[in-house]
């Protein structure tokens, strides 16, 4: 098997109380993994630890075979710019700019070109000259996903990316994400409350009782 793109081992973290302990997460090229669980269980915190934004109290995180939290801040920033993509439930777009300008900010930093075929797949190609404030919430979310994917990340970290979308648009977005990881030999780590979307991933885990369990049976039991 190929070298993991992500290998988190023995992750423990707490704020006022312990969120989780002894958590392991591994992602290989072409693989998708979803994490489900109750609100407040620490799903988003775990995703932020794996994606370089929160240093865990205990444990290690390796991206592309190298320890992340042993690196300098400038090296970590380079990983964020070139190698990983973060999709949040809220889009974090620049409202005074057009949709295309928002996407170009990311692609220029990553030294990539805007993927016009991707814009067609997301059904937003005709919206590129509109200001972000003129777009609906669903359109803005698809622009944010186009911004992430156009920089060609090796891992996509997605935190409730369909939480504010209708079922049809959510399905479209997930198809684009799955197509991307297969065509680019990338990987997807997804946090979601939507059990149907979670079930479409290669592996499903639930964060419960302060640890991460692989779900080997029906998601009806999550």
Distance CA 197, CA 8 (A): 23
Model confidence over 58-79: pLDDT tens digits? 999 999 999 999 999 999 999 9
pLDDT higher than 50, residue 133? yes
Per-residue model confidence as pLDDT tens digits over 82-96: 999 999 877 789 999
Q: What is the pLDDT of residue 72?
A: 95
Average pLDDT over residues 127-139: 95
Task: Return the residue matching tokens 């439930």.
Answer: 89
> How many percent of the chain have pLDDT more than 90?
83
Chain segment 137-171, per-residue pLDDT in tens: 999 999 999 999 999 999 999 999 998 899 999 99
Q: Return mean pLDDT, the chain.
A: 92
pLDDT (0 to 100) of residue 160 = 93
Domains of the chain (ranges; CATH) run 6-217 (3.40.50.300)
Sign of CA dihedral 67, 73, 74, 80: positive
Return the SS3 of 69: coil
> Which DSSP string do the residues of 182-207 spell out, in sequence order?
HHHT-EEEEE-S-HHHHHTSSEEEEE
Q: What is the pLDDT of residue 216?
A: 52
């Amino acid at each position: 098997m190929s070298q993991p793109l992500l290998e988190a081992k023995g992750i423990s973290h707490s704020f006022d109380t312990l969120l989780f302990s002894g958590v392991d997460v591994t992602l290989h090229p072409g693989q998708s993994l979803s994490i489900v669980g109750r609100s407040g269980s620490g799903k988003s915190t775990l995703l932020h630890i794996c994606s370089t934004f929160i240093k865990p109290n205990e444990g290690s995180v390796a991206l592309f075979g190298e320890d992340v939290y042993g690196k300098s801040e400038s090296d970590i920033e380079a990983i964020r710019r070139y190698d990983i993509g973060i999709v949040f439930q809220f889009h974090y777009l620049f409202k005074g700019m057009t949709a295309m300008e928002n996407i170009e900010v990311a692609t220029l930093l990553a030294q990539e070109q805007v993927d016009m075929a991707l814009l067609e797949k997301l059904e937003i190609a005709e919206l590129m000259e509109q200001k972000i404030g003129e777009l609906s919430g669903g359109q803005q979310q698809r622009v944010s996903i186009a911004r992430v994917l156009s920089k060609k990340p090796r891992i996509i970290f997605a935190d409730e990316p369909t939480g504010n979308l209708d079922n049809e648009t959510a399905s479209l977005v997930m198809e684009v994400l799955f197509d991307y990881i297969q065509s680019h030999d990338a990987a997807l780590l997804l946090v979601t409350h939507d059990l149907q979307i979670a079930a479409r991933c290669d592996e499903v885990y639930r964060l419960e009782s302060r640890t991460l369990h692989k779900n080997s049976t029906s998601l009806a039991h999550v």
